[in-house]
Amino acid sequence: MDTMFSAFETMVKSVSDWVTLAFDRPSARAIVFGVPIKGHLLVEGLLFVVILFLLSQKSYKPPKRPLTKKEVDELCDEWVPEPLIPSITEEMKYEPPVLESAAGPHTVINGKDVVNFTSADYLGLLGHDKLQDSCTKALEKYGVGSCGPRGFYGTIDVHLDCEARIAKFLGTTDSILYSYGLSTMFSTIPAFCKKGDVVVVDEGVHWGIQNGLHLSRSTIIYFKHNDMESLQSILENVTHANKRTKKLRRYIVVEAVYQNSGQIAPLDEIVRLREKYRFRVILDESNSIGVLGSSGRGLTEHCKVPIENVDIVTAAMGHALATEGGFCTGSARVIDHQRLSSSGYVFSASLPPYLASAAITAIDVLEGNPNLITKLKENIATLRKGLLDVQGLEIVSDPESPIVFLTLKKSTGSIKGDLQVLQDIGDYLLKEHSIFVATSKRSTVDKCKLPAGIRLYVSAAHTKTDLEKACESFKKATAVVLADQ
């Protein structure tokens, strides 16, 4: 044991002696620039050189080879585009019925007189003498078109008068006119909501608002249709998540009477939430101007909310005011900003002057005859009562809304199937009973997921016999069409 150990010891000693000798040999020593190089320094020096060499090598990247001209040409030849439009299916060939007279409460289709529930002429002003008069005068004076955008001699004095009249009627400082109802919302929203802002919007809004939000590139959060608790919880989350409140603009966008369902938004709740969480409110009053409130001033009057509490109010005039175009109203700051940064106002021709004068006359008539609004409310109540016991269809719209929205009690399972059934009911009503109604149609780019239904626009000019006839016909139609389901 001892001998083995001592032998091992001597072996190690001899090896180390040999190594030290090798390193201390005169040849391993050198004097470079006056510095003696010991043996270990040589090893370190060699290591250092090896490291430098490895570092200087390029890392391995597969070489980048741009496509040659021949390859580019080949790719271009091979590429086959999709057809511009998908193939036409049967339902695409649908043609709506063609009217042969004015779209009032009664109209003529195919030579037959029908009761018309598709025209949103809530106060029955279409064909009113005063409107026809003022339009004729304006046509004789100004011609039809205004031939220019507002910035370049397209501002005619009737436009300025109309804006002042609307502002006076609603009680705001100023208003701005747009030349088309649909473009009002999708020009107003991008003027105020920019990238990075937060917008909380109802999921049932119409396409104009959806497009405006998409163009604004803000963060969009949807809340459940007309559900205030869902709205509140979302506002809570947003306020707590974002502490940089100084630079972040926040908006709530709602419609007064929803085009897609006939519900009415509870404005007093929304304004209360606005004060609490400091969000600005954008309200679309297309279907409520001239309808809600005791004098027709819209949802703000109906819910007893002062109009200063709603920051931006927009509306399309193609409904109660029986003309075309749209307007936006609010404080002076809001309106002045839009005159230069709203694209649908700056880059588009202005509203034809005869439509602006029709709007002024419509407001004058409305202010002078508040009994039109009471008549409309009566008609809505009569119609709703009569339609309550129609089998297979139920009314989902609000009792005060001028749009009476009927959906199928038992859905067929798909939107397409529903639309087909509703379309059959509509066709039957038109052919057999001379009642003209509209089913809600959805575009492929529309993101709204609310159920489809039949929309009835009630007008103050409908007579009691019209409404009773409609209710009777509905009962008969559903009995026939839905009996097959």
Partner 1 sequence: MITIPYLTALTTYFSYGLLFAFGQLRDFFRKIFDWWSQSTLQGYAPICLGLEDFYIRRLYLRIQDCFNRPISSPPDAWFDVVERISNDNNKTLKRTTRVKRCLNLGSYNYLGFAAADEYCTPRVIESLKKFSPSTCSTRVDGGTTTLHAELEEWVANFIGKEAAVVFGMGYVTNSAILPVLMGKGSLIISDSLNHNSIVNGARGSGATVRVFQHNTPSHLEKVLKDQIAEGQPRTHRPWKKILVVVEGIYSMEGELCQLPEIVSICKKYKAYIYLDEAHSIGAIGKTGRGVCELLGVDTADVDIMMGTFTKSFGSCGGYIAGSKELIQYLKYTCPAHLYATSISPPAAQQIISSLKVVLGEDGSSRGAQKLAKIRENSNFFRSELQKMGFEVLGDNDSPVMPVMLYNPAKIPAFSRECLKRNVAVVTVAFPATPLLLARARICISAAHTREDLVKALEVLSEVGDMIGIKYFPAEPKKQQLEEGRVKLE
Q: Which of residues 423-452 bind partner 1 (CB under 8 A)?
A: 436, 438, 441-446
Q: Which of 316, 335, 363, 435 lies at the binding interface for partner 1 (CB under 8 A)? A: 316
Q: Which bin fits 289, alpha (ψ -120 to 50), beta or left (φ > 0)?
A: beta
- Minimum Å gap between C-beta 54 and partner 1 is 34
Binding mask 353-372 for partner 1 (x = CB under 8 A): -xx--x--------------
Per DSSP, the three-state class of 119 is coil
Contact 292, 401 (CB under 8 A): no
Comparing CB distances to partner 1, the nearer of 41 and 161 is: 161
Q: Which amino acid, 5?
A: F
Euclidean distance between CA atoms 256 and 245, whole angstroms: 28
Binding mask 67-106 for partner 1 (x = CB under 8 A): x---xxx-xx--xxxxxxxx-x--xxxx-xxxxxxxxx--
Euclidean distance between CA atoms 211 and 286, whole angstroms: 17
Comparing CB distances to partner 1, the nearer of 181 and 296 is: 181
Euclidean distance between CA atoms 363 and 193, whole angstroms: 31
Per DSSP, the three-state class of 454 is strand
Site for partner 1 in 159-188 (CB under 8 A): 159-160, 179-183, 186
- Minimum Å gap between C-beta 179 and partner 1 is 6
Q: What is the DSSP letter of 347?
A: S
Comparing CB distances to partner 1, the nearer of 46 and 164 is: 164
Comparing CB distances to partner 1, the nearer of 39 and 149 is: 149
Six-digit token pair at 90?
A: 């049967």
- Minimum Å gap between C-beta 483 and partner 1 is 26
Site for partner 1 in 452-481 (CB under 8 A): 455, 457
- Minimum Å gap between C-beta 336 and partner 1 is 9
Contact 262, 238 (CB under 8 A): no
Euclidean distance between CA atoms 295 and 307, whole angstroms: 14
170: nearest Cα among 321, 292, 289:
289
Number of residues that bind partner 1 (CB under 8 A): 115
- Minimum Å gap between C-beta 470 and partner 1 is 14
Contact 201, 398 (CB under 8 A): no
Binding mask 123-162 for partner 1 (x = CB under 8 A): ---xx---xx--xx--xxxxxxxxxx-xxxxxxxx-xx--
Site for partner 1 in 275-314 (CB under 8 A): 278, 280
Give the interface segment with partner 1, choosing from 6-14, 32-40, 45-53, 208-216 (CB under 8 A).
208-216
Euclidean distance between CA atoms 238 and 272, whole angstroms: 17
Q: Which bin fits 171, alpha (ψ -120 to 50), beta or left (φ > 0)?
A: left
Site for partner 1 in 26-55 (CB under 8 A): none
The yes or no reply on residue 63 touching partner 1 (CB under 8 A) is: no
